[in-house]
Structure 1
Amino acid sequence: MPAAVLFLFYILVVCTPLALATVQGQPPRGVWDELAAGAGMAGLAILLVEFVLSGRFRSISGNIGMDITMRLHQLLARSAAVLIVLHPFLYRGQQSLDPRQSPPGSGALDFGFDGLWLGIIAWLLLGALMVMAIGRDALYRHEHWRLTHGVMALIVAALGVLHATRAGQYSREPVLTWVWGSLLGIAVLSLLWVYVIKPIWKRAHLWQVSRVRKLADRTWELRLVPEGHDGLRYAPGHFAWISIGRSAFSLNENPFSIASAPGDGSELRFVIKELGDFTNHIGEVATGTRAYVDAPFGALTLKGHESAAGLCLIAGGVGIAPTLSHLRALNAAEDPRPRLLIYGNRHTGQIVHGDELSQMARDTPLTLVHVLSDPPDGWTGETGFVRRDLLERYIDENARQAWVFILCGPPPMLHMVETALLEMGVPARHILSEQFSYD
């Protein structure tokens, strides 16, 4: 589904409660009361739709990228929180603490316990949820935070729906009550899909570690083979969530780009750097260890760019993994299009598959450019970082307009390179990048 269609669909869903409230024909109230009700309904709608922006639905993240999906999730969650937190303070109309003195429809709120106080509890829990999300890196292991975050968000959403349908003037109407119930049902199904249905599917599609070997400084290659099934259908540029030596229901998963090409057979290859937690012990994983794979994800594929005149691949560190997948697939297909690989590292000991890349440069239409920030004595290649002046030397005017540019590496490098390419006149639609850090 194209990104524009996804955006329009999102706006339609979020605005539906407001539109239904508008056409009810309720007696008009003061401006502040209407703003308060609108803010509450908009915030609740955004919160409910957040469950499908978790990053685990390929129809979404596969079109706009996992990093953009998660950034949207964060930004929209903050917007929902602001609307929900503010909305009770916006009411200005006459209210009565005695429901018998405020017939349905005569006031902005029903102060009965089963309506108003559900909202107060949801309001307080939402504040706690946002504080926990902001401090997640310092307070929790990711897998513990992930489960707590999902369950708390669902509780807040359920209480919010009950509050809206019992206390709100508009949401008590049957049609809007049905809409809130449907959105809550979708939220519940989203969590069930991620935490129950997918793990059951993964148990029926086991993988096994076939090889672990060191490639470079603190960098390893992990290979997985399917156990009792045909493997995975994916495209170059996709990545997978992997859990090794744990239950299919374990929340301890890590995202890694696939380095193999679809034509290499059923075996999956990954390039993994020691960065903490599981990755620090990747070299200790024994052959035969069972693994679970949730894939494919990502938007670094050539979908929509199949007719590009050439490819410029810019990688930093283990960002070489999806680049390798693209190059291996192009070579297997004997694709005649020119390609340029600019590969940045700190020193030569970090270069991954250097011999294979050099062989590609000799045998295929690949121009290989190594860039080292800490080069050894006698180094004659590029030094420093991937800067604009370096890009201008290797990318001519025709390539800037007709090629597709695939970027993968540390976030600072991605930001710098993308800015440089845009300043050089490369159309934004020709630049593909994705990262696993969303802050």
Structure 2
Amino acid sequence: MRALILILFYLAAVSAPLALSWLADLPPRSFRNELASALGMLAFAMILVEFVLSGRFRTISNGVGLDVTIRFHQLMARGLLVFALLHPFLYQWLPGPPRPWDPTRELTLTGDVTALASGFLAFIILPAFVLASINHDALGYKYERWRLLHGAGALALAGLLLHHTLAAGRYGAQSELVWFWSAMTGVAVLSSVFVYVVKPLYQRGHPWRVSTIRRVSPKQWVLRVSPDGHAGLDYKAGQFVWLNIDHSAFSLNENPFSLSSAPSQGSEIEFVIKELGDFTSNLDQVKAGDRAYVDGPYGTLTVAGRSEPGIALIAGGVGIAPMLSILRGLDTEGDDRDRVLIYGNRVEEQIVGREEIGTFDRTRTIHVLQEPPPGWDGETGFVSPDLIERSFDAQQFASWLFVICGPPIMMTVVEQALLDHGVSPDRVLSERFQYD
């Protein structure tokens, strides 16, 4: 229901300028000219709504999942790019200055270079902006630099398009549209202010301190942080946060990590982090007492409030973090439902929390190794459809809740295997943040 409401709000926001332009009751132009204006207004409205979709607003993301809003943000960027590129080529008009007998621009468009220059510049920047965002991993940008360029570029585009719409658009001069575009641009700017100013100010007043950090495998660490002068974080087992260590609260040096601790374990929170680059490659330099900041919680990978008779947790690699959070929560809360944990790794040394996992009540654990050592008596290879089929019976497929976290390929394979066995999508919980 919340997802439906959000979709309706989105449609209302991006179609509002079309409705207002129709209510202006200007003399109609040719179909091509009206379509050109409509595509331009749709593209601009969609760009402004993109600020809200990418702003980490928990009211939105915790209702449908931050991964869903990010994916929607990506798909809408592609759509608005098509609209924006088509927009100027559809116009049919007479060259030259406005005619006295054409005050409503039915036949002519403005020839004012200053009014059109901002549109030309946005027309060049927008494709480069979207393509760079799609391929930012391949471009080799650090996450922090990409985020800065992405935010600054979006604000620059919004400013250029606001000027172009009000100065060159036929409908942009209408008072209702002037108010609408100004208000929408204001909301977009305020969204950025909220993310880059308001949130850091709050975080600066609610700092954390690194309490412990230890290496648990050649490439994996367990990090714990404690609240410094405040009550801590109100979260659900399985959620994640953005973590910033040893930088200013206003720094862009923050990265998303799943929580591996459970709320019932106290105010200290824990992470299982794998070395992948940028911040994670410098974990050996983090020490107890370092200042940290936390933005969250986010995510819908949580079993809180679910009533299914059993829970299956399927993890690959560092995807064990939210599973540990969920299992720890279920255990400390005395939940008596049966559980199955399938945990895949490349080698045995990468298994995190093996002894603790073996102590969880009512939990059957299946370890899977791609490169097993001699004498290994667990599963080998990958978390495959065949393994999924052998691990659950028909009754479990028909009624249990399935939670998945791990490499994108593994998640896709497991999701499809579950659907093939009749598991309804509402009983499959997963989050993914790599799409392109």
Calculate the TM-score normalised by the size of structure 2: 0.96
CA distance in 1, matches of 2:33, 2:154: 26
Q: Tell me which residue corresponds to 2:428.
A: 431
CA distance in 2, matches of 1:292, 1:220: 18
Specify the alignment match of 2:237 in structure 1: 236
Measure, in 2, the Cα distance between the counterparts of 1:187 and 1:291: 28
SS at match of 1:359: coil
Q: Is the 8 A contact 1:195 1:249 kept in 2?
A: yes
Moved more, 72-81 or 125-134: 125-134
Mapped pair 1:412 → 2:409: yes
Aligned identity (percent) is: 49
Which runs of structure 2 are paired with 1:378-393 in the superposition (5 Å)? 378-393=375-390
Q: Name the CA shift for 1:100/1:286 in 2 (closer, same or farther; >3 Å).
A: farther
**CA 365–125 in structure 1, closer or farther in 2 if over 3 Å, else same:** same
Matches within 5 A, 1:339-418: 339-360=339-360, 364-418=361-415
Question: CA RMSD of the aligned region, Å?
Answer: 1.6
Query: Could you tell me which residue of structure 1 aligns to residue 29 of structure 2?
Result: 29
Structure 2, gaps ≥5 residues long: none
Structure 2 CA distance for partners of 1:144 and 1:99, relative to 1, 3 Å: farther
Structure 1 residue 102 displacement after superposition: 4.6
Q: Deviations over 1:156-205 (max 9, x none)?
A: 11221221122212222111211111110111001101111111111000
- Count residues with an aligned counterpart: 435
Q: Which moved more, 1:171-180 or 1:57-66?
A: 57-66
Unaligned runs of 5+ in 1: none
What secondary structure does 1:43 align onto?
helix
TM-score, normalisation: structure 1: 0.95
Segment drifting more, 327-336 vs 397-406 = 397-406
Distance 1:212 1:370, change over 3 A: same
Residues 244, 294 of structure 2: 8 Å contact kept: yes
Residues 212-242 of structure 1: CA distance to partner in whole angstroms, max 9, x if unpaired?
Answer: 0122231110000000100000001110101
Q: 1:260 is aligned with what amino acid?
A: S
Q: Distance in 2 between matches of 1:13 and 1:46?
A: 8
Query: 2:260: which partner in 1?
Result: 259
Counterpart mapping for 1:214-233 below 5 A: 214-233=215-234
Residue 308 (structure 1) aligns with: 308
Alignment partner, residue 207 of structure 1: 208
Give distance in 2, aligned partners of 1:141 and 1:281.
14
The one-letter amino acid of 1:306's match is R
Q: Deviations over 1:295-336 (max 9, x none)?
A: 101111225x52111111000011000001100111111001
Q: Which moved more, 1:35-44 or 1:152-161?
A: 152-161
Check the 8 A contact 2:316/2:407 in 1, yes or no: yes
Aligned twin of 2:132: 132
SS at match of 2:295: strand
Secondary structure of 2:358's aligned partner: helix
Range with bigger deviation, 328-337 or 169-178: 169-178
Partner of 1:145: 146
Question: Counterparts of 1:257 and 1:216 in 2: how far apart (Å)?
Answer: 18
Distance 1:154 1:274 in 2: 33
What is the 5 A alignment of 1:325-336? 325-336=325-336
